[in-house]
Structure formats: structure tokens, C-alpha cells
Amino acid sequence: MRPDVTIIPFRGKTPRIHDSAFIAPGCRIIGDVEIGADASVWYNCVIRGDVNRVVIGARSNIQDGTVIHCDSPDPRRPEGFPTVIGDDVLIGHMAMIHGCTIHDRGFVGLSTTVMNGCVIESDGMLAAGALLTPGKRIGARQLWGGRPAAYMRDLTEAALAEMQLGVAHYVLNAKAHKAALNDGTGKD
């Protein structure tokens, strides 16, 4: 790992990061965190698995300045609220992701907040700037937005295809950034 990325073992748990993942400079990754193949964690993100686990699936991207955390187990909820992010998930810049589940191909817009116990089903989308309050569930292929977030409409096939193009773009862009950081030229 690069010296400008902070990886901190915590309470006997060390982050597990797939060799093909891109972790940008300025990131802080702590504790029980797993990051999958071809995932990307962009500049200045914090992923803190100190009181529960955080999982980020293959080809998912966590864009610049995002904070991901989880919540502790307690007598009312012995499993607490881990944060589990599936494969091919897009998370926009400056998002706050806390103790929730985002299924494969979910989309979280920039400057959003997703709180404890929330679920975003496959192909679900939370619009930019939205606040998903505790325990809410975005159904498959649904778009929610607002503060607090509410259902807006179902997503079209074109919108779903565009989200998958975004996933492919981020996988390729991450490889280019990784190469640029390794060779110092900034060229592909």
C-alpha cells in the first residue's frame, strides 16, 4: 500500500483489500473492512470498521470525500448495523454511508446521507443531496430523493444502463489513476 494511504488494524482486525482495488492517496481505512476486486476508493475517503464490519464489493466505487461507518451491537440489536455494499455500486462524492446495506448495482448520489438500517435494493437509486432516514428501504429500480427522501418514480432501462456505464468508467479510470500514481507521469 502507498505511504499516503493510512491502513489501521483495530482490535485484532486488519483491513483486507484486494490487490486489484484502487485506494487513492489521502484515504483512511480502519479495522474490519473488506474491499473487493477492481473496487475503487477515491481521494480522501474514510472507511471505519472499528465497531462493526464494512464490506465493499467488486467493481464498486466510493468517490472522493465519502465517509463510511457502521454501528455497534447493543442489547436491542445484537448484530448492530454493519455497512454492506454489494458489487457494481456507485457512491457519489461526499456521501455519508452509515450502518446500511446497498445491494448490487445500487446508486447513491453525491452529498447524500444513508442512515442506520436502511436498505437500497439492486438497481435502486438515491438522488444527489438526499437524506435516507433510519430504516427506510428503496426498492429495486426505484428512484428516491429529497430531505427526507421519498419515492419519486421507477427507473427506466436507459437510466439503469447509464448507471452500469458509470461502473465500467470508474473501473477503467481507477486503473489509469493507479498507473499514474505508480509511474508518476499521469499518462494512461
Q: What average pLDDT does the segment 174-180 reach? A: 94
Look up cell 500514481; give the residue. 181
HEC profile of the chain:
CCCCCEEECECCECCEECCCCEECCCCEEEEEEEECCCCEECCCCEEEEEEEEEEECCCCEECCCCEEECECCECCECCCECEEECCCCEECCCCEEECCEECCCCEECCCCEECCCCEECCCCEECCCCEECCCCEECCCEEEECCCCEEEEECCHHHHHHHHHHHHHHHHHHHHHHHHHHHCCCCC
Q: Note the pLDDT of residue 2.
A: 66
Q: Note the pLDDT of residue 40.
A: 98
Q: What average pLDDT does the segment 135-153 reach? A: 98
Return left, alpha or beta for 179; rule: phi > 0 is left, psi -120 to 50 is alpha, else beta: alpha
Q: What is the reported pTM?
A: 0.94
pLDDT value at 33 more than 90: yes
Q: Note the pLDDT of residue 103.
A: 98
Look up cell 500500500; give the residue. 1
Quick one: pLDDT band at residue 186, thresholds 50, 70, 90? very low
| C-alpha cell recorded at residue 184 | 508518476
pLDDT value at 16 more than 70: yes
Quick one: pLDDT band at residue 3, thresholds 50, 70, 90? confident
* Residue 58 phi, psi (nearest 5): -60, 140
Distance of CA 161 to the CA centre of its chain: 19
Q: Note the pLDDT of residue 188.
A: 41
Alpha-carbon distance of 137 to 119, in angstroms, equals 5
Alpha-carbon distance of 142 to 152, in angstroms, equals 8
Question: Beta strands 142-145 and 150-154: pairing type?
Answer: antiparallel
Tens digits of residue pLDDT in 53-93: 999 999 999 999 999 999 999 999 999 999 999 999 999 99
Q: Note the pLDDT of residue 183.
A: 79
Q: Note the pLDDT of residue 182.
A: 85
Q: Note the pLDDT of residue 1.
A: 62
Quick one: pLDDT band at residue 14, thresholds 50, 70, 90? very high
Q: 80 exposed, middle or buried (CB, 10 Å; 0-12, 13-18, 19+)?
A: middle
Q: Are 99 and 82 in contact (CB under 8 A)?
A: yes
What CATH number is given for 6-180 in this structure? 2.160.10.10
Q: What average pLDDT does the segment 15-37 reach? A: 98
Q: What percent of the chain has pLDDT over 70?
A: 96
